[in-house]
Amino acid sequence: MNTASTYDKQITLAITGASGAPYALGLLKALVANNVQIFVLISSAAQVVLKTESDIAIPSHPDKAQQFLQQMFSAKDGQIQVFGKENWFSPVASGSAAPKHMIVCPCSTGTLSAIATGASDNLIERGADVVLKERGQLILVTREMPLSSIHLENMLKLSQMGATIMPASPGFYHHPTCIDDLVDFVVARILDHLGQAHNLVSRWGYGGD
């Protein structure tokens, strides 16, 4: 198995049950292409949404899910590592070993609330808690609309803690012609914040006419 030194960066990607499965898949594809090692955490609700929105049935067992994703994205052996929601021995669960970058994409409002209150009832919540306490980079790709006052309060609270709240709100100035173009816009903005190179969309002012 390839070691961490084989990769340019380590990133944790948590996928929760909010609508927006294509964003998670697009991000995972881009990170694999950029030689990033990804620690993947998938909630039970996310598995349902992935099947519903993208017709992708990810196995429930972490080892089988890992093999499935590695084959799907032609990743190196060990480049994608999947951990179960109660695997407290995962590197993600400890400040001494967790990647300094974590994205929750898409981020459900339930997960948003749990992270904002410091709950650590599963590995996704614990992973986010670790990144916050270690002053790492936490990006929460929310999608819910409209937003209640509770949602807004949780977003403000997390923003003040240092997290980046990044609603999945694609722009249209790149003249999208299909759903993939809209997905690419959101994925591109996430990659920008991670310092990852891409050519998914034209940048404002550099796109042409």
Average pLDDT rounded to a whole number, residues 114-124: 97
173 is annotated as contributing to ligand binding: yes
Helix, strand, coil % (nearest 5) of the chain?
Answer: 45, 15, 40
Q: How confident is the model at residue 4 (pLDDT cuts 50, 70, 90)?
A: low
Least Cα distance to 6 among 25, 28, 32 occurs for 32
Q: Is 110 annotated among the ligand-binding residues?
A: yes
Query: Which pTM was predicted?
Result: 0.94
Confirm whether residue 19 is marked as ligand binding: yes
Annotated binding-site residue? 143: yes
Annotation-wise, does 111 bind a ligand?
yes
Q: What is the mean pLDDT of residues 125-152?
A: 98
pLDDT confidence of 207, banded at 50, 70, 90?
low
Contact (Cβ atoms closer than 8 angstroms) between residue 103 and residue 192: no
Low-confidence winner among 12-16, 133-137, 141-145, 198-202 (lowest mean pLDDT): 198-202
How far, in Å, CA of 82 to CA of 90, rounded? 9
- Per-residue confidence band for 202, with pLDDT thresholds at 50, 70 and 90: confident
Topology of domain 4-194, per CATH? Rossmann fold (3.40.50)
Distance CA 190, CA 196 (A): 9
Q: Say what the pLDDT of residue 208 is.
A: 53
Annotated binding residue 109: yes
Domain boundaries of the chain, sorted by first residue: 4-194
